[in-house]
Amino acid sequence: TPRTRIMATEGKATEKPQSIEIVYFPVQARAENLQMMLEYGKVDYTYTYTGGSEYRDDRKNLKFPFNSLPVVFITTKSGEKVTLAQSGAITRYFAGFCGLMPEDPIQAAICDSIFEHAQDMMKINPLVNVFRGDKFKELKEEYF
């Protein structure tokens, strides 16, 4: 099993890994931007859907750091197996080798602040895509 470690890019472009596997639910949410970034950077990857009993078993067996998704399994150019968790950390890592992270620290911080604002707005996703009827009205009132 891949082990978890922290990878710091120090604001510099990172080398594309040998392989990337994104694991997430079959919905458009926190892994969608990851796919868009890899497509933009013309980086090959595998997208693995999970859910139901498979997801429950994987959580029970601690396959995913922090017991949450998305998770990315990476094989580096040197062959090291790395597991990355948390969509923000994965996004910043991908931005480094997809040509999406400015080298200037101020510009990078501005990009990061826009990303973080989008993360704050994630509450809208289930509101728009999942809930109907009274629950939709209740959450819409709460959010807006």
- Rounded average pLDDT over 86-110: 93
Q: How many helices (H) and strands (E) does the chain have?
A: 6, 5
State the pLDDT at residue 88: 92
Distance CA 124, CA 121 (A): 6
In this predicted structure, the answer to whether residue 5 has a pLDDT above a threshold of 50 is no
- Rounded average pLDDT over 51-55: 92
Dihedral angle computed from the Cα positions of residues 105, 109, 115 and 119, in that order, rounded to the nearest 10 degrees: 130
- Rounded average pLDDT over 79-83: 95
State the pLDDT at residue 122: 77
Counting residues of the chain whose pLDDT is more than 70, the rounded percentage is 91
Per-residue tokens: 82? 């790395």
In the block, residue with structure tokens 């080798």: 97
Strand bridging mode 81-85 / 3-4 = parallel
State the pLDDT at residue 144: 74
**DSSP symbol at 68:** -
Mean per-residue pLDDT over the chain, rounded: 86
State the pLDDT at residue 73: 96
In this predicted structure, the answer to whether residue 135 has a pLDDT above a threshold of 60 is yes
